[in-house]
């Protein structure tokens, strides 16, 4: 299996795999966006930012579903020689991390879930249908990913998001191949791993954002309540793209969690 494209910073024996959201890519963790990879590397961790299949420099892998994304992450895990692995997943990346743990938790030592959920929509499918219609409408109208980003971004970021953060989030989203975005939407449409939360036995941080309307803090608090020993924190001045909107606070929260649960020798 071809290994997805990655950017690696740091040489520590604890690797943090950075998994992006549906409108992202591994560049979302660069200095121009969140700076998370550099911050982790400077603290002594090995930051591994991943382009999930179909994104950035990673080719699509088989059927456009979560299984293919999980296989891609597993392929990355197989080639990095480290003592411990922590998965950090934002939005869709958090779903991929949960799916991986539900299928086979071997080799995963910690988990950070940010601005994400354990299920997509409601049992009757009404929420999913409305969400898909909203997200696909700009593409169906021929606006492309840049036009979709212009339409959706105001509802994704919080009121305190700087013009620079908005511009960077838009730029990353606009670079996502339209086919990959459409496939990813379909891949997460039936996601539901609520029943698997109780089986998570690794140190876990649930990191929410106060102005996130896609994965509201109360939703993430319910996730935390179902994961034994997990921690919950909420960034007060950010929306759904919290890692870009409030990078300093985001990185401090992540690093604090890592240093307490995965101290470096």
In whole numbers, what is the pLDDT of the chain averaged over residues? 94
Per-residue pLDDT band for 123 (boundaries 50, 70, 90) equals low
- pLDDT tens digits, 169-225: 999 999 999 999 998 988 898 899 999 999 999 999 999 999 999 999 999 999 999
- pLDDT tens digits, 14-48: 999 999 999 999 999 999 999 999 999 999 999 99
Structural domains of the chain, ranges and CATH numbers in brackets: 6-261 (3.40.50.1820)
Closest C-alpha to 50, from 83, 16, 1, 98: 16
The rounded distance, in Å, linking the Cα atoms of 256 and 50 is: 22
Task: Judge residue 111's burial from the number of C-beta atoms within 10 Å of its C-beta, 0-12 exposed, 13-18 middle, 19 or more buried.
Answer: buried
Number of H helices, E strands in the chain: 10, 7
Q: Tell me, what's the pLDDT at 151?
A: 92
> Residue 209: which region, alpha, beta or left (left: phi > 0; alpha: psi -120 to 50)?
beta
Q: Is 70 exceeded by the pLDDT of residue 61? A: no
Give residues with Cβ within 8 angstroms of 10, minimum separation 6. Answer: 40, 41, 42, 44, 45, 46, 47
């Amino acid at each position: 299996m071809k290994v997805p494209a990655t950017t690696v910073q740091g040489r520590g024996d604890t690797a943090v795999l950075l998994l992006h959201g549906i409108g992202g890519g591994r560049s979302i963790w660069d200095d121009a966006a969140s700076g998370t990879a550099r911050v982790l590397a400077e603290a002594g961790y090995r930051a591994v930012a991943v382009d999930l299949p179909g994104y950035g420099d990673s080719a699509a892998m088989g059927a456009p579903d979560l299984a293919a994304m999980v296989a891609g992450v597993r392929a990355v895990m197989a080639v990095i020689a480290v003592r411990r692995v922590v998965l950090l997943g934002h939005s869709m990346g958090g779903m991929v991390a949960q799916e991986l743990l539900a299928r086979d938790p071997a080799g995963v030592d910690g988990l950070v879930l940010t601005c994400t959920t354990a299920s997509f929509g409601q049992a009757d499918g009404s929420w999913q249908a409305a969400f898909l219609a909203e997200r696909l409408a700009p593409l169906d109208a021929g606006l492309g990913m840049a036009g979709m980003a212009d339409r959706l971004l105001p509802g994704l970021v919080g009121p305190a998001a700087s013009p620079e953060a908005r511009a960077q989030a838009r730029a990353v989203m606009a670079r996502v191949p339209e086919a990959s975005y459409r496939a990813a939407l379909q891949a997460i449409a039936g996601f539901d791993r609520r029943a698997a939360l109780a089986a998570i036995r690794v140190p876990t941080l649930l990191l929410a954002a106060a102005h996130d309307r896609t994965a509201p803090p109360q939703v993430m608090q319910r996730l935390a309540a179902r994961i034994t020993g997990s921690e919950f924190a909420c960034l007060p001045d950010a929306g759904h793209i919290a890692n870009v909107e409030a990078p300093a606070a985001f990185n401090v929260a992540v690093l604090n969690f890592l240093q307490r649960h995965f101290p470096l020798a």
